[in-house]
Chains A and B, each alone.
Chain A
């Protein structure tokens, strides 16, 4: 992450110094800093709300029963000794909210889940395989019906806003499978 970030920063600054007006850089940083604060306020408000709601849910016994069922479907992806009971709950909540397309709920559960998995991680300075799989699940899109994209298309007078549903399901599924396979392959190579 550090390499990507600094590389992009260097490229952008050099590029604007050569080709356009260097003052773009500071203008851009000023306005994006403002944007960042606004973004965080928007994200934060919903994240905090869902954090509260899920804290209610995670204290119920219904959840632990339900999450076992959901987790069992996906359990083949994870290693048994790397996932505690508590992390199973977060993993299944994360998957469920990703599929339903409730982004902020998915985010809070991904953060709680990875934190919980770190607790049972034997080498604290390295990811274990289950954590890598969990991150891969979150970097791929699992939303079944792309509601926000459909409404954006409708807003711009598309003849058929729903046309994208089936292609999106196919593409998301294939790319999810491909990234999970690559986690497995690269993991074996590392070991």
Chain B
């Protein structure tokens, strides 16, 4: 356990889609501030489900139950208002999906618009520039800010979505396979970006790409059939996995 207080802590977190089956089973783990934690595991192991529990995405759908506790700065998310949680926990999805009816500029500010927060022109300009700079998109789009977000390439769109999430100054950023729809160059861009971003925000990233987990994360989780099999330093896990299942997955014998 770290000496610093964790920013996010799972305590016996369970998620079930139906009464009979649990998609996530009694996961407990503490996530340190300003780290990148990779969540790995074969398809259907519950890693996205666990991730989506953190910003209460499951509340949008009927019949999904989340049990146990998820603490954000010591406060249990599961008993908080979803809207308050989601303002503090940003999310980036698998497929880049900027709002198609909004300009690049408005996409960055969409979090404020959607929450009914009014900003002055100066604040808006500053926020847009700050966020686009932090995702290294500013130089590419500064002259086309009024074009639609969908006008950008896939990698640029995904960076725009990250900027959109960062604009709300979240404590935690959840990323659900953010590069799986992108080409290797765009992927490299995003990876470099995330390493930079961990100074500002704690990142939890679901990835299928083991190389990616190695390159960017300091901690890794390995999940299998809804259980958290192993959680520890990424380097350690890759060189010397404690569990046979982790080893089988990392060596390509499973998954």
Query: Do A and B come from the same complex?
Result: no
Binding site for B on A (CB under 8 A): none
